[in-house]
Amino acid sequence: MAYQTWFAFFLAACLIAISPGSGAVLSMSHGLNYGVRRTSATILGLEIALVLILVIAGAGVGSLLVASEAAFNTIKILGAAYLIYLGWSQWRAPVAPTSSGSNAADAVAAVPAPRGQAWWQRCMTGFLTNATNPKGIVFMVAVLPQFIDHDQPLWLQLLLMAITMVTVDLIVMHGYAFAASRMQRFFRNQHAMKIQNRFFGGVLMLVGAGLFFFKRAQH
């Protein structure tokens, strides 16, 4: 892959990562509830799914999914339903009462959002959030062919793209998580923590509902 082509892909990867989406919302939500270090498991799941989508799109399977209305609608419905379920779980997440003398870290630690997930559960939540997002597949199918040189080995180009995209996305998602974690001091009481649960839960449900109106490209 020529340097100019890689740099153009790097810029595209930056735009993809920075663009607000379900992954960014999830990173911020978990960053606020768990802190940056524990949110790394969530982000790991996001990146595994990102690599999977890139490989699927690069291998041409993504084009078949986009071309098949039944397959596309199945992924769309599953993705929308999962995000709505995730948002509803966050909306209803119980908040433990905290004393007025508790500090921000103690207050956040008292929130089992969503439901006190273990690291592998957070990783799976991140994976399913990205893996069931049809927008990601459609975008990859549309973007990847622009950067692939058919005279060069495909797997080497996909490997370089995967490393580039995952590196960029790791930095951006951790940035979202870090920014959210800095707000922990504002959530010292039960009422404030309930508000943030409902805010992020509502955003996830809105993103999920929006997927129902997402249509595949017509050829």
Q: Where are the domains of the chain?
A: 23-211
What CA–CA distance (Å, rounded) separates 177 from 38?
10
Please give the pLDDT value at position 188: 58
pLDDT per position as a tens digit, 67-87: 677 777 777 787 788 778 878
What CA–CA distance (Å, rounded) separates 115 from 141?
35
Please give the pLDDT value at position 203: 82
What CA–CA distance (Å, rounded) separates 1 from 161?
10
Residues of the chain with pLDDT under 50: 99-115, 219
What CA–CA distance (Å, rounded) separates 205 from 196?
14
